[in-house]
Structure 1
Amino acid sequence: MARLALVTDSVCTIPQELQEEYQITIVPMSFLLEETTYVDNGSLNWLEFYALLKSARRLPTTAAPSPGAFFDAFREVYQQGSREVLCIVTSSQLTATYNAACDGARLARHELADMRIKVIDSRCAAAALGFVVLTAARAAASGVSLEEAANKAEALIPRMYMLGFLGTLEYVAKGGRVPQVAAWLSALLKMKHIFQLHDGNIIRLGAVRTNPKAMDRLLQLASQRLNRRKPLHVAVFHTRAVDAAEALANRVREEFRPAELFVSEFSQVMSIHTGPGLIGLSFYNDP
């Protein structure tokens, strides 16, 4: 393993081949579903996951990795030869993962005296987090220092956008984030609620009826935020909506001609809060 290692959490949705290419270590989150605790690493197959989620009497609870889990990850890469670690995790406004990673780093510094660790709050999630991690990993692979890789990651965060729409408000309502009556009306009217996550802030950008109209709106919003004169990186994300995600990816490819484009599925921890049918895109321009 390289001297500088990259560590992140399972919300990142980085494609498996890129995880392996850059030797990125993933620390999984977990969730409690029907009195059974599962690790967010795909060990529970998706069909079974959604069947259990649909029938659950209560919305499952999710949990950040423990400080000990991060310590174990730091110790593992140390044993493989890395003496520097850049750990980039999901926004601290969404989860306690950042605090757990900081606590794990303190434990590692105490026991592994010659190890240097920097933890970054990405202020984003899912594929947006994945892009921040990949930017740092690519910098690390080129031989830069820990500080230089961290600077590249931190410089990307304000340029990183995440836009999406929910296929249903059912699971958001189960979590108490919207009233049940709002979810019922939304389902009745087939409304698709559009949101943005940017630099740590989540805002609602309205609602439209039907998936095609929602996709049109996503592309319009993306066009307002990107720079067509600079290289563009895009990840289309979804929850159990492969065909719709591939259709959106094709439109992105035709309309924006990105330098990089991939499709990824939300982790199960994230899917608990959104349910199936979520579709969106994360993107940024090179400086």
Structure 2
Amino acid sequence: MPEIAVVTDSCASIPEPILEELDISWVPYYIHRGEEVLRDLVTAKRDSFYRWLATAKVLPKTANPGPGDYLQVFQSLAEDRGFREIVSIHMTSKGSGAYQAACAAKSMVREILPNLKIEVIDTLNVSMCHGWMVIEAARAALEGKSLFEIVNLVKKMMPITKMIQTADTLKYLYMGGRIGKAKHMMGSVLHIKPLIGMKEGIIVPLGQARSRTSAYEKMIKMVEDVVGHMGRVKIAYVHAAAMEEAEKIKAIAETKLTCVESIFAELSPALGVHTGPGTAGLCYFPV
């Protein structure tokens, strides 16, 4: 067992077998669907949720875990499992309150367990970019690295871990208020596939394409521009109810890049709700 516990939340979208293998603790987000309150990946399962989302007329609201949710996990790790150090790793604070909630929980737990040391990290990233940092932190913990070394590892990954993603339709970006009606209508008529990424913790447009294939080729070209032809990367192919599309991205990537490690990861419902079923993309970092 590692001496340092690694905590994250469901929006990291890390596949369950990896969570179990690396002993990663996670806290579910909330999804408010009308009067119904769901917990991400607990009562909101990927398959059934995305089937429902394809028919939804109004998007559900999502909310990050509260300080009490993190406090419960921190206490359990210390009192039930004997951990004395914890690193808690979260998606960008510019898009979610999870980091702030975990910081509040850290202050609360200090009153109860003054000897428990907790480092809370705002990755300024999302999806499996956030997920990769959690995975590498957990691997470092299993190798016996110190809390200081693990925090530095994550901080070094933050500026070089990148997401590129496209949506099958602009419908969910429009329903969520992220684009206007005119852009939604024009994009739908022209079958535009927007490419989005993240810069300094904020979602930014990276371009657009007129077909999925073109979008995927542009994605890989963007990665190639950073790491070079056949550059070495660790890469996660992310999707929302679109495994076949993720496999297409992988097929292109493997002709242009040296993929040291590849993972398929389906977005958690609390994350996928914003771009909808059919979303596909990648999260990578050079190695």
TM-score by length of 1: 0.95
Partner of 1:153: 154
Task: Look up the match of 2:201.
Answer: 200
Match of 1:242 in 2: 243
For residues 69 and 235 of structure 1, the distance between their equivalents in structure 2, rounded to whole angstroms, comes to: 28
For the residue of structure 1 that corresponds to 2:96, the secondary structure is coil
Instruction: Note the C-alpha offset of 1:279.
Output: 1.1
Match for residue 120 of structure 2? 119
SS at match of 2:273: helix
Gaps of 5+ in 2: none
Cα shift at 1:227: 4.6
Question: Which residue does the alignment assign to 1:143?
Answer: 144
Counterpart amino acid of 2:182? V
- Give the distance between the partners of 2:102 and 2:134, measured in 1 at CA: 15
1:181-204 deviation digits (Å, cap 9, x = unpaired)? 321221121110011114423221
What's the CA shift for 1:26? 0.7
Distance 1:218 1:200 in 2: 19
Contact 1:33 1:53 in 2 (8 A): no
- After TM superposition, give the deviation of residue 35 of structure 1 in Å: 1.5
Q: CA RMSD in A?
A: 1.6
TM-score, structure 2 normalization: 0.95
Q: Read off the aligned partner of 1:92 and give its amino acid letter.
A: S
Q: Within 5 A, what are the aligned runs for 1:1-287?
A: 1-78=1-78, 79-227=80-228, 231-286=232-287
Query: How far off is 1:47 after superposition?
Result: 4.5
| SS of corresponding position for 2:18 | helix
Aligned length: 286
Contact 1:71–1:108 at 8 Å: present in 2 too? yes
Cα distance in structure 1, aligned partners of 2:268 and 2:146: 31
Mean CA deviation greater in 184-193 or 87-96: 184-193
What is the CA–CA distance in structure 2 between the aligned matches of 1:235 and 1:115, rounded to whole Å?
33
In 2, Cα distance between equivalents of 1:188 and 1:31: 31
Q: Which moved more, 1:177-186 or 1:78-87?
A: 177-186
SS across alignment from 1:158? coil
Structure 1 residues not aligned, in runs of 5+: none
State the Cα distance separating 1:51 from its structure 2 match.
4.3
Amino acid at match of 2:278: G
Q: CA deviation at 1:230?
A: 6.0
Aligned residues of 1:161 and 1:284 also touching (Cα < 8 A): yes
Contact conserved, 1:62 with 1:269, CA < 8 A, in 2? yes
**What secondary structure, in the 3-state scheme, does the structure 2 residue paired with 1:127 have?**
helix
Give the partner amino acid of 2:213: P
Task: State how far apart, in whole Å, the 1-side matches of 2:77 and 2:87 are.
Answer: 11
CA contact (8 A) 2:229 2:256 kept: no
Aligned residue type for 2:15 = P
After superposition, the Cα gap between the structure-2 partners of 1:178 and 1:90, relative to the gap in structure 1 and judged at 3 Å, is same
Point out 4+ residue stretches in structure 1 off by more than 6 angstroms: none
Shift of 1:33: 0.8
Contact residue 4 and residue 84 of structure 1 kept, 8 A: yes
CA distance in 2, matches of 1:158, 1:54: 34
